Structure 1
Amino acid sequence: MEIAKSNMNGHQNVIVMRHGDRLDHCQPLWVSTAERPWDPPLVHDGKVRAFQTGQRIRSQVGFPIHRVIVSPFLRCIQTAAEVIAGLSAVDLDHNAMSSKDMPSIDNSKFKVVIEFGLCEMLNTTAIKSEVAPEDGKFEFKISDLQAMFPEGTFDINVDMAYKELPQWGESAEGFRERYVNTLKVLADKYPSDNLLLVTHWAGVGTILNKYFKDATKYIVTYCGSVELRRQVLKNNESEEFEVVTSHGVAFKDNKVPIHGVIFT
């Protein structure tokens, strides 16, 4: 089935979302025995949160998602898979807790792509030196990550915006530039598609900082997100994105939510 386009009104929508609850933050001792301590999976509650986020997006945002573009880190891959399950349930059951409770899904509505440009900050701000690979090389087996998504959803014919991972020790300025550039490249590549970008705290924070320069620190909860929209003209020229709303995001100092969204 061909993916339905919703952007006939000339607008493109992009949701930039943080991953769900990660295991090492819930069980700190996990890293002492983990084979890949820098790449934790989600805990069960994180999967539930991600699935329910997919349900919320489907029922509340008012536009369909056409492409899900995701960081290669396991916590983001698992988050995206659960969100897709919540988004694509044929008979939406609001009491379902995670994808295992929802056997009936329609996989024809989405295309999924892994994107190195959305990966975690590769420096000691985000990944402690004692858990990072000793040689500074973060390796991912893309075929294994592809297999975590429902059959028929992964788009194997799409090149990444960033074909290589950043070098370990990237600068703060470098990662901010990377996130902003990745958003622009992906949005321009798919101007008629609404996108869901599943990334890390720094990805959501960077996008916030771009549009709210007077607020330097934010609370971004697990699966917290920012919704952007821009006008796309017939010749594929486009206006600048604007922040429409957010979910699970607030200013750190006073807990005031972005654009009036209730922070919980």
Structure 2
Amino acid sequence: MPFADRFSDITVLDFVINAADILLVWFVIYKLIAVIRGTKAVQLLKGIFVIVIVRGLSELLGFNTLSWMMEQALNWGVLAVIIIFQPELRRALEQLGRGRLFARGNHLQEQEEQSRLVEALTKAVSYMAKRRIGALITVEKETGMGDYVETGIPMDSKITSELLINLFIPNTPLHDGAVIIQKNRIAAAACYLPLSESPFISKELGTRHRAALGVSEVTDGVTVVVSEETGAISITSDGELKRDLDLEEFSSLILREWFGDKATSAAATRWNWRDKKKNG
């Protein structure tokens, strides 16, 4: 049995080493995909994958000219990938140099950061709701929103309540449109979001609410709306609109929608304690 003879000399140690080798390769690939997720590089990788498939099919079917063209594209592809993916590769190398590419991060620091972000967003929303300043803020989750970010003005800024408020002050250059948050940073302002075409939307809702519902229908992001007419606070996610929220409902809901159920308990407890301390 020639096939069985190939495995006769493999020891348990060799099997463990090979298994660990395969798992490490998959882990590296997973981390690299996480780095480029939500960027143009994802679409380019799909294009490379299509070229590989066409190359294999053309060789199988005997399309010599097409096969030669695809082979040349793959031969020069390494250089093209380095040039096209330069920003993503640089970011990955920077994270690797800081030891962040494979680090899971400090859980306590993550909770503190989550509390800080929710506090900044709640403070900004509270200020704008009291003064009836219209606002539209979308938080990216798993589905990349790079296409919508490109329609606005790039910022890549730290999230603070003061900055969010200033972005939506009427008659300023960036107040018209949506602010998009990516990876816990303000990615861009004055962005255009797709409007919902649903016939079941109340006619009393304006363009901001339709845009919030529209982006929630095509992505898994969560969007915050402050009504310019009434000052009401709303949140959309998964095509659903939750209206007329008070600040306590808003803070707990945005924390759950933004960071998930696992992050809610500890961070929500910390947020509620801070809120009671301020009010009491």
TM-score by length of 1: 0.24
The structure with the largest alpha-carbon Rg is 2
Structure number with greater CO (CA < 8 Å, separation at least 6) is 1
> Relative to total residues, which structure has the larger strand share, 1 or 2?
1
Structure with higher helix content:
2
